[in-house]
Amino acid sequence: MAFQIKQKGPVYDVCIVGSGAGGGMAAKILSEAGLKVALLEAGPRYDPADPEQMTQLKWPYESPRRGAGTTRPFGDFDAAYGGWEIEGEPYTTKQGTKFDWFRSRMVGGRTNHWGRISLRFGPRDFKHKSYDGLGDDWPIAYEEVAPFYDRVDKMIGVFGTKEGMPNEPDGFFLPPPKPRLHELMIKQAGSKLGIPVIPARMSMLTRSVNKDRSPCFYCGQCGRGCSVYADFSSSSVLVNPAVKSGHVDLYDNAMAREVLSNNEGKATGIAYVDKIDLEEYRVMARVIVLAASAGETARLLLNSKSSRYPNGMANASGIVGKYLHDSTGSSRAAFLPQLMDRKRYNEDGVGGMHMYIPWWGDNKKLDFPRGYHMEFGGGMRMPSYGFVNAIESMNGKYPGRDGQMKPAGGYGAGLKDDYRRFYGATIGFAGRGESIAREDNYCEIDPNVVDKWGIPVLRFNYTWSDHEIKQAKHMQDTFEQLIHEMGGVPLGNKPGPETMYGLENPGRIIHEVGTTRMGNDPKKSVLNKYSQAHDVKNLFVVDGGSFVSQADKNPTWTILALSMRASEYIMSELKKQNI
Amino acid sequence: MDRRETLKALAVGSLSVSTFLTACKDDKKTKPPVGAGVKTPVYGRTDEEKKRDVKLEEEKFFTPEEMKTITILADIIIPADEHSGSASDAKVPAFIEFIVKDMPKYKTPMRGGLRWLDLHSARLYENRFTDCSSKQQLALLDQIAYPEKAAPEMSQGVAFFNLMRDLTANGFFTSKIGIKDIDYRGNTPNEWDGVPSDVLQQYGLSYDEKTLAQCLKTEDRGKLMTWD
């Protein structure tokens, strides 16, 4: 059988792999500069305003499973296709360690469902080793990234307030929405405990930033993708407009196989399999930009072996895949008796919290390094599968309307009334913290396993250390302090040492970064401080792979800022004919 | 399947002959065009998800006798009252039929639990549950509906009834009738301007000056943001 690899399109100026935050930003900046861009995406096109794809404003009964997460892990209406397991695309783990890898194959990638919590890293976050001796410092400082954060704020839009906190830099904010009832209660409890509760910083448009996107209309469903583009997703805000401009050729359902290179070691293109016609293709370009996600980019580089690059491309250091790290996460729910029999009103608000808790602790007085921020949820949310589970654990503990106690569980009109009474009286807290990047937490190519296109898959090796476990314990203690201060009742048993204090599996927070980290020493890093591969001058990485350390912040805003910075560096290097 | 495809399939090796034959037989059936003749609501599905929904809708899990029991139990758990209709008015039994196919982990607990119920009923009343008087049915359920009061030997029945209660309540309160009953007011374009003042007052809370100054004024919502 003739097995032909066909070339698609002309030789492009730039070929970008991946259309999430990093790839979307690179596509926008580079195409607006007049470069001819090819953008490869492993999944289908996506537009939340397309009636065929839209899930916003659907009612639970429009889904036969009432919004349950059977096929989409975050619920039937969630915008992200894919999940922890994708048929025919396995990954493995080593030595009994755990790593859960969330992949979203679609234009916009995981920005379609993320929480849109948009935090800048602070000055300390880029130089943390200088403070506590752990991990490594970034080769860049906050001041170098700040101008790009500023531009991302204005281009995309993020609400928040100027607080003047040293490691939570302020930006160009849109006005935040007013807090919800339970958020005011948490704020009150926080102020008694010395825990700051401030307006959240999220990328939804409380006011428009340009004429192409409307302001938020408060349905609380950003995770479903917004049909008026009031929320940020790479698809709605970066990729689809860039494709419409005519300067970006989008190759969807294109699963990248390897980075091609020539005799001089320069990257020349990407080989991919088209998931629809199952034919093999290649796209050629002068510059290759990888934005496939920390995991997929490492996989792509490690699979790009040649006689010149026996360990994979850009991997003379052997560092590709190492220093993989995800945020820590632990959570607890509580019942607030004072919220029983609540007066009803629409409190959907934006899709997520209106307030949050930035890290407030002083590590000198604590037994773990680094910090975490706290998120919370609650309120009279849209009913969805699972939202009234296990009432027998609640309705025997509180007196009925008549003031009398009754046995837990039951049936009939009294039970039906209990569901009404308990509705909207539950809140949840979650901590999201910084783990220490370690060389011995890594992903590599599994020597024995391929996916359904024959591409060797990743094998993960990841463990938590005492640092992260103690941090999770601190989270659990803080949740209980806040809950008790509010007069609430923590639900379930307090997670203890047997579960590492509820510390989620690595990967579970979907903030994994660090696999192609930047640095000044080519022996200890994959990229230089402009996200350019030390070994291959025309190869760049603009996803979370470049992170040296994760901070107690969500990575997206920093991915966007660094991708913008790298894209402008690419242009200046092209102009100087250095690449 | 043509010969070349057959060889390809055999080369995979892990397929048993019977799987392989079944696959061939299935192939002969005309592939149902997605959604054809089946009412799939439009709620943003991918093609794979549409196919899965159609397949689940076509399957049947519970027997007519089991569905009868499910309907009786659901209406005992959520009866009609002065606010709204019953579980079966909200088509909860059909939802339960779907959800156990969607989440197969519930198949055995539900089937076995229904069987447990009939056996216990036969022990008490020498009748299937559905053939008992409603007084007998309630007397039986009283043994399993209150986890903290139930006798230890009733634990399997308690577990089944907890599941049945959860599925019924989830089905009911996510239905049109149930959402109206629980009085959820959202899922519609609106202008969030904070907690209503009477609610703030009820809880002794207020928005302080700083918060009011910082937060969005609804009249600014339509204005393009500038920072200069």
Kindly determine whether residue B53 and residue A338, on different chains, have CB atoms separated by under 8 Å. Answer: no
Q: Indicate if the pLDDT at residue B31 is higher than 90.
A: no
Q: Indicate if the pLDDT at residue B10 is higher than 70.
A: no
Q: What is the per-residue DSSP string for A384-414?
A: -TTTTTTGGGTTTSS--TTS----SS--SHH
Tokens standing for B171? Answer: 């089905």
CB of B78 within 8 Å of a chain A CB? The answer is yes
Kindly determine whether residue B192 and residue A410, on different chains, have CB atoms separated by under 8 Å. Answer: no
What is residue B42's predicted lDDT score, i.e. its pLDDT?
81
CB of B149 within 8 Å of a chain A CB? The answer is yes
Sequence letter at residue A536? V
Q: How far apart are the first and last CA of chain B?
A: 68
Confidence of residue B30 (pLDDT cuts 50, 70, 90): very low
Judging contacts by C-beta atoms under 8 Å, the chain A residues touching residue B197 are none
CB of B104 within 8 Å of a chain A CB? The answer is no
Kindly determine whether residue B102 and residue A65, on different chains, have CB atoms separated by under 8 Å. Answer: yes
* Best mutation target, A204, A388, A397, to test chain B (most B CBs within 10 A): A388
- Is A264 in a helix, a strand, or coil? coil
What residues are paired with A377 via a beta bridge?
A428
Residue from the list A63, A185, A388 with its beta carbon closest to the beta carbon of B170: A388
For chain B positions 208-227, those within 8 Å of chain A (CB to CB) are 211, 214-217, 220-225, 227
What is residue A273's predicted lDDT score, i.e. its pLDDT?
98
Q: What is the ipTM of this complex?
A: 0.94
Helix axes B92-102, B47-58, angle to 10 degrees: 120
Judging contacts by C-beta atoms under 8 Å, the chain B residues touching residue A54 are 44
Q: Looking at CA atoms only, how far is residue A407 from chain B in angstroms?
A: 6
Cα–Cα distances in angstroms (integers) from residue A416 to residues A252, A319, A360, A536, B78, in the given order: 49, 59, 43, 66, 6
CB of B175 within 8 Å of a chain A CB? The answer is yes
Under 8 Å between Cβ of A116 and A222: yes
Q: What is the per-residue DSSP string for chain B?
A: --HHHHHHHHHH--S-HHHHHHHHHHHHSPPPPTTTTS----SS--HHHHHHHHHHHH---S-HHHHHHHHHHHHHHS---SS---TTTTTHHHHHHHHHHHSGGGHHHHHHHHHHHHHHHHHHHSS-GGGS-HHHHHHHHHTTS-TTTS-GGGHHHHHHHHHHHHHHHHHHHTSHHHHHHHT---SS------S-HHHHHHTT----HHHHHHSPPGGGTTSPP---
**A476 backbone dihedrals φ, ψ, rounded to 5°:** -60, -40
Residue from the list B141, B199, B220 with its beta carbon closest to the beta carbon of A343: B199
Digit-by-digit pLDDT tens for chain A (579 residues) are: 457 889 999 999 999 999 999 999 999 999 999 999 999 999 999 999 999 999 999 999 999 999 999 999 999 999 999 999 999 999 999 999 999 999 999 999 999 999 999 999 999 999 999 999 999 999 999 999 999 999 999 999 999 999 999 999 999 999 999 999 999 999 999 999 999 999 999 999 999 999 999 999 999 999 999 999 999 999 999 999 999 999 999 999 999 999 999 999 999 999 999 999 999 999 999 999 999 999 999 999 999 999 999 999 999 999 999 999 999 999 999 999 999 999 999 999 999 999 999 999 999 999 999 999 999 999 999 999 999 999 999 999 999 999 999 999 999 999 999 999 999 999 999 999 999 999 999 999 999 999 999 999 999 999 999 999 999 999 999 999 999 999 999 999 999 999 999 999 999 999 999 999 999 999 999 999 999 999 999 999 999 999 999 999 999 999 999 999 999 999 999 999 999
Q: Which helix (H) or strand (E) holds A480?
A: helix A466-485
